[in-house]
Structure 1
Amino acid sequence: MDLCRVLFFSLGFLTCLGKMAMTPKDLLFFMETMEQPRSRKPSVRTGHIHQLEQLLLNVSFPGHNLTLQTRTIQSLVFKLACNFTGLSLSSAALEQGPQLQALHTMQFPAELTWDACSRTRLAELRLICIYFFTNKFFQDDSNSSLLNNYILGAQLGHRPVNNLRDPVNISIWHNQSLEFYTLTCVFWKEGDSQHSQGGWSPEGCRTEQPSPSQVLCHCNHLTYFAVLMQLSPAQLPTELQAPLEYISLVGCSVSILASLLVILLYIHDRKQSDSIASIHVNLHVSVLLLNVTFLLSSTLAVAPVPGVACTALAATLHYTLLSCLTWMAMEGFNLYLLLGRVYNIYIHHYVLKLCALGWGVPALLVLLLLTVKSSVYGPCTIPLVHNQENHTGFQNVSMCWVCSPVVHSVLVMGYGGLMSLFNLVVLAWALWALRRLRAGQKAPRTQACRDTVTVLGLTVLLGTTWALAFFSFGIFLLPQLFLFTISNSFYGFFLFLWFCSQRCHSQAEAKTEMERISSSQMTTH
């Protein structure tokens, strides 16, 4: 028997499990061996956790509950019946000022046992809770920071528990100053290979902060939970959430209608269209798709939908944004050719090649991300600052978007920055060319107004207002939020106005040309 225990604890084999009855003393010894320095391979750490779960589900002990405690691990086992009415667990109390506050609590609803009891008639169900006060067993690729380094896990029997209508509530108290941090309730999602242990995901969890020292998590499943801490240089005040959402909703809706109208007009006049009109309509299609997916993303992030749907929508939103930015750059490139070659443009399959770049390159980037690591897309939290009884706290709003900070920096801010910089250079060059053209000329007031409209139109066409995203800091934050939201949610509508002005200008030029030809023919006769 002693030899069997030595093999079990030193090598982690479960072959001896059926030959002996595990006791709480054996389990405590196993938990102590888990704390010792071990292999750093993710598969080994995950294997130890799964072994501990199996041992807790099969350990023999008198009474209705069992508690085992080591320096960094605490295990609890409860025997439940089908008449379970709920359970609330609290850690040891910690003195914080005049009141006593618990370090953490877990509240399990009565619904927890419904599914298991409806399938089979069991005399006993086992609920196990494993608390880790270190993150060495849960290390992701980003080396994420966790609040208090707490990981609180729970499991009911051998079956997974998902989609609870009445969620599990987890509260964690702290005494840290988290003014510049975003706090997000997450669960541990195991990796699908031996080289990747897994990562933290907010799917199925909702975050609240009832007070500056408490984080409350509402999760609809059982697994290992924690509170993720992420540096957030700027938070959005809660008071601005409603007006910004209203502006976005109205602006995106108006832009969708405007883009649809332009696309329909293009289809109607397709026989008279040229390459410039084709580029414009591709930009309108990308703006239309971007506005539609943006409006859907915030809706599906809070709705009870599968994680796959949110991942797909986040990837689609990222693709449409990259496509929109790329087509803005295509507009800048086309403007450069128009001014540089003085309307002498002929490139074989010009529009087809631009379509391959405008739609193909973003698709390749997004598909590559989905293939390599699809977890970069999903529910993403946006921190909001709010005042509650003269205390500053945080509240999170979710949307389906890019969850990885690295991908967001490189393939959102970096990509958008390059496109905006290119178009700003083209715009500056176009203004210089226009000024050189007007040099020495005493232009009438109508010509000056027309030039002003041209400059504003080019500014909109090239999407240079997207550069406002790089001014979201310090005293620029609040003005930037409103300017960016107004200019870019109504971007499709502004493009529509530019399209109408160009259309009217073309018709006026055509009418003037027809009148000139008619008068010349009358003079000849």
Structure 2
Amino acid sequence: MEPRLRDNLGGVFVFIILLSTGSSENDMDFDFCGTWRHKSGALSLNVSLSTGCSEISISAGQSSLSIDGQITARCKRSEVIPLEQLGLDSEEEETPFCLYWEPLLDQLKLQVGGKNLTLCWPTSLQGSYCTELSFGANTPEARYGIINGMVKKDLIRPNIMTAYKFNGSSKNCKALCDQENPGSARVSIESSLAGGNMEHPCAPSSEVDMKEDFRGYNITAPATTGVPAESSTTVHLPHALKQAAKKSSKVVCTFFKNNSLFQEGHKGVRILDDVVEITVENEVIADLSEPIRIGFHHDVIPKLHSRKCVSWDTRKDPLQVNWLDDGCETQQKGAKHTECLCNHLTYFSVLVQMEPRPVRHLLALSAITSLGCAVSVLSCVALIVYLCRKRRSKEQSIPIHLGLAVSLGLLNLLFFFTGVLANVGGEGVCVWVGAGLHYTLLSSFTWMGVEVFHTFWLVYMVFSPSPKPYVWNLVGFALPAVPIIILAAVGDIYGVREVLPSDDVSNPYLMCWMKNTHKALLAHYFTNMTVLAILVSSGIVMLFLVYRQIRTRDEWRQNRVAFLSIWGLSCLFGTSWGLTFLDFGPLSDVVLFLSCILNSFQGFFLMLRFYMLDWMRKQAGGSAQGSTSTGSTRQHMLQSQEKS
């Protein structure tokens, strides 16, 4: 693209943004939704759009959906699009769709079968817009067509119609803006992209003249109807801004209400309703010694949703919205107030990360987890071989340790390959892999719980026989399968899960796990978090009880024995998983890395524990009986005879 043309398009894009405010309050935007009934097989989308303001027709038949009309200012498009390219299921006979028209942006968007498609992008300046679309002439009913046609969620016809037609009326930009913001202040400033003076007809602005005695200035956005003045956006211009400005003393603050073009375009994030632009005419201001303070008042943001102050430099990204947190510091003043401290001038807002929250240092955490899982798988295999050789000792704890090693090995193996399977196999494979990963996780937690219970049995139930090994196998392997079968029957629980890195939300890490849906979230809390809470609390209690029993023993006075006993039992009892509940506050990153290391390398730590106990037994010249288990801890440290 020629540089001059690129700059002109950049100026057009910025100008369109400046014109655009939340126009839905006055019904200037248009959306039409319905269900397309068609035959199974190959489907297509027919688009035929031309400039003007007369009529738009949405029609459907047994194999094609058509959008025809003249409502755009500059956009022209004539194309047949096979819907197989969008990944739609051609076996279904009904497909929901919605058509959205934003006249201020000259933008037409279609959502069909859950897939988004932009039919018309804004391409040039225009003086008038096609808006206030009204329902046109009736069309005949048919076997194939559009069911339950709705405009702004109001049902028009429940019957199957072949087409819906809407007539438009033309309005110029100034009339629309006067309708949206009656009496709003307007200021003309020079745009660095367009190379001339532009009027901001839809956004209130304030101009400040930084005179010689300038020591700072506070600006409050004009109050919107129905919104108290104390909830308006505020800007504090520091004294350092006067020192940084070399050519001009005038600062312009423009306050925008958010629209779709200010959005990132990435799933799971959104920009707050308020966007502020701060400029000094003909100058680029950066690296201020004292930051500009921008206070955003907004609706309550739940604690689970992270937020950060961001800026968008249109000089670097004129045609693509790219919000970055470079040069801005975020201060959360409460659930409804966020203050941004930024050292440069451009557009500013607050980016809210919906569920799932972005993960900091995702690349490093992924590398640690992959390495830990690989080492743990090999360690569990070695531990299984080791325990199988020890089964001849007929120690009661061996089958339990063996069950834990098997479940942990399978868990780490699936987790190691989950990213590869998600990218290669997609949703179909991830349904099975996600269910398998969930099962092995619950099975591992269950076996850790069995370890806790069995240790309690050995320590406190000296003369009572322990349950048979097949009972433990039923509990450890069969019981976790029950919730998995139930959740699989409910459906829409397992599949591809996106994990967003905080530094680049446009490049998510894919894995097979529970989906990011309300049902899956409930399943996660009722299964994983509930079982984990029970496991960690019982494991900590059991550690305390064991400590009370062994603290007076002679063996306990040996530091290495004491450390190995508590550390080893912590691995068996799964108490390291309790770090999951501490992932908040200033030490969140430290806790996250520590939890990642301990839990991904848990198989290795377990193998190390058993081999160290065996080595210590040989060093002490002890007997072979009970050397590798919870029973050995009891034999060496409690000096009690295990009951067979």
- Asked if Structure 1 and Structure 2 have the same fold, meaning a TM-score greater than 0.5 normalized by the shorter chain, the answer is yes
Q: Does 1:451 align with 2:575?
A: no
CA contact (8 A) 1:301 1:399 kept: yes
Change (3 A) 1:307 1:428: same
CA contact (8 A) 2:446 2:476 kept: yes
Equivalent position of 1:106 in the other structure: 117
What's the offset of the Cα at 1:295?
1.3
Distance 1:280 1:511 in 2: 21
Change (3 A) 1:424 1:380: same
Aligned match for 1:258, one of 379, 382, 388: 379
Q: Does 1:407 align with 2:418?
A: no
CA contact (8 A) 1:386 1:395 kept: no
Q: Does 1:67 align with 2:56?
A: yes
Distance 1:452 1:430 in 2: 13
Q: Give the structure with higher Rg (CA).
A: 2
Equivalent position of 2:499 in the other structure: 382
1:296-325 per-residue CA deviation (whole Å, 9 max, x = no partner) reads 21212222x252211000000000000000
Distance 1:380 1:455 in 2: 36
CA contact (8 A) 1:315 1:377 kept: yes
Equivalent position of 2:237 in the other structure: none
**What's the TM-score, normalizing by structure 2?**
0.47
| Letter in structure 2 aligned against 1:235 | P
| Letter in structure 2 aligned against 1:106 | L
1:114-159 per-residue CA deviation (whole Å, 9 max, x = no partner) reads xxxxxxxxxxxxx99x99885799xxxxxxxxx9899xxxxxxxxx
CA contact (8 A) 1:302 1:398 kept: yes
Counterpart of 2:466 in 1: which secondary structure?
Answer: coil
Equivalent position of 2:393 in the other structure: 272
Q: How many residues align?
A: 357
1:383-429 per-residue CA deviation (whole Å, 9 max, x = no partner) reads 32127xxxxx6653221111211111111112211111111111111
Seq. identity, %? 25
CA contact (8 A) 1:251 1:489 kept: yes
Equivalent position of 1:362 in the other structure: 480
| Letter in structure 1 aligned against 2:466 | I
Distance 1:501 1:474 in 2: 36
Distance 1:356 1:262 in 2: 21
What's the offset of the Cα at 1:106?
2.6
Counterpart of 1:232 in 2: which secondary structure?
Answer: coil
What's the offset of the Cα at 1:504?
2.4
What's the offset of the Cα at 1:362?
0.6
Counterpart of 2:570 in 1: which secondary structure?
Answer: helix
- Tell me which of the two structures has the higher relative contact order, counting C-alpha pairs closer than 8 angstroms and 6 or more residues apart: 1
Q: Unaligned 5+ residue runs, structure 1?
A: 1-33, 36-44, 109-126, 138-146, 151-168, 184-208, 214-228, 388-392, 515-525
Change (3 A) 1:172 1:134: farther
Distance 2:36 2:576 in 1: 52
CA contact (8 A) 1:329 1:419 kept: yes
Change (3 A) 1:131 1:402: farther
Counterpart of 1:76 in 2: which secondary structure?
Answer: strand
Distance 2:432 2:407 in 1: 17
CA contact (8 A) 1:94 1:103 kept: no
Computed over aligned residues only, the root mean square deviation of the Cα atoms, in angstroms, reads 4.9
Equivalent position of 1:353 in the other structure: 471
1:265-294 per-residue CA deviation (whole Å, 9 max, x = no partner) reads 223343234221111111110110000111
**What's the TM-score, normalizing by structure 1?**
0.57
Equivalent position of 2:367 in the other structure: 246
Task: Summarize the alignment of residues 165-184 of structure 1 with structure 2, pairs less than 5 Å apart.
Answer: 176=272, 181=305
Equivalent position of 2:445 in the other structure: 325
Distance 1:256 1:489 in 2: 10
What's the offset of the Cα at 1:101?
8.3
CA contact (8 A) 2:550 2:556 kept: no
User: Which structure has more strand as a fraction of its residues?
Assistant: 2
Change (3 A) 1:352 1:68: same
Task: Summarize the alignment of residues 229-244 of structure 1 with structure 2, pairs less than 5 Å apart.
Answer: 231-232=354-355, 234-237=357-360, 240-244=361-365
| Letter in structure 2 aligned against 1:433 | Q
Equivalent position of 2:36 in the other structure: 50
1:449-495 per-residue CA deviation (whole Å, 9 max, x = no partner) reads 31122111111121100011111222232011100110001000000
Task: Summarize the alignment of residues 332-351 of structure 1 with structure 2, pairs less than 5 Å apart.
Answer: 332-342=452-462, 344-348=463-467, 350-351=468-469
Equivalent position of 1:211 in the other structure: 322
Counterpart of 1:488 in 2: which secondary structure?
Answer: helix
Equivalent position of 1:193 in the other structure: none
